[in-house]
Amino acid sequence: MSDTSPTGSRPPESGGQSGSRGQPGSGGQPDPGEQPEPSALTQIRPLSDEDIRDALPEDLDAAGHVGPYLFPNNNRRRIPGMIYLGLAAGCLLLWGTHAGGNAVLVNGGFLAAGITLALVGAYSIIGSWNLDVDERDALVAAVRQVGFPVGHASAQMGWRGVLSRPTWRILLYSAEDPPTQRGLVLVDGVDGEVLEWFVEENPEDWSQYDE
């Protein structure tokens, strides 16, 4: 009698087992004692500290710099702010002169884009404080505040508040070898006011740096 299956193939043998030949176990099931191959997710190696790298822009990277270093002024934020305001004016002008019932390319989206760009531009200009206090002036204010001679010190620029006011973070150590005290002072980058400060006994072990 001829085979009447639609594809003309022979029906499965051995009681309907559909497992591939040579597969361990019965019914095509893997052997319980055999370990499955690790998936792609289990082969991913966790990141170490050496794998995580960060890089500063060229105008902010002072590594290897010889001579006086001038920190970029915070007021350069006015440049993108003026660009945003110019684009906002263009969008609002197009919407006001071309939008209407028969307009095809100019619609309410130009109004929304103009308002959004105007808000972003205004915020950029408001937050473009002039950095009148450089890191040397901030270090002088910090030394005056802690009240002890300073040896090693470092300055970092940060921003605080909704209006993004520039603030110097001064970390300094006393002049002893090894230093016995350390302090952290926050100095306003606009008017030089000391905002917060903290001094403590140096808990770090510097004995490895002794000659």
Q: How confident is the model at residue 180 (pLDDT cuts 50, 70, 90)?
A: confident
Joined tokens for residue 194: 């000391």
Please give the CATH architecture assigned to the domain spanning 135-209.
Roll (3.10)
Q: 45-83: per-residue pLDDT in tens?
A: 666 766 666 665 665 565 555 555 667 788 889 999 999
Structure confidence at residue 105 (pLDDT): 80
Helix%, strand%, coil% for the chain, nearest 5:
30, 20, 55
User: DSSP secondary structure string, 130-180?
Assistant: ---S-HHHHHHHHHHHH-S-EEEEEEEEEEETTTTEEEEEEEEEESSSS-S
E strands, the chain, in order: 150-160, 165-174, 181-188, 194-201
CA distances from 13 to 1, 19, 28, 73, 146 (A): 17, 10, 13, 81, 89
- Confidence at residue 32, expressed as pLDDT on a 0 to 100 scale: 56
| Ranges of CATH 3.10.450 domains, the chain | 135-209
Q: Please, what is the average pLDDT of the chain? A: 76
pTM value is 0.58
What percent of the chain has a predicted confidence (pLDDT) above 90?
Answer: 25
Reply yes or no on whether the pLDDT at 29 is more than 70.
no
Q: State the sign of the Cα–Cα–Cα–Cα dihedral 29, 32, 35, 41.
A: positive
Task: Name the pLDDT band for 15 (thresholds 50, 70, 90).
Answer: very low
Look at residue 75 in the predicted model and tell me its pLDDT.
87
Angle of helix 78-98 relative to helix 108-126, nearest 10 degrees, comes to: 160
pLDDT at 20: 44
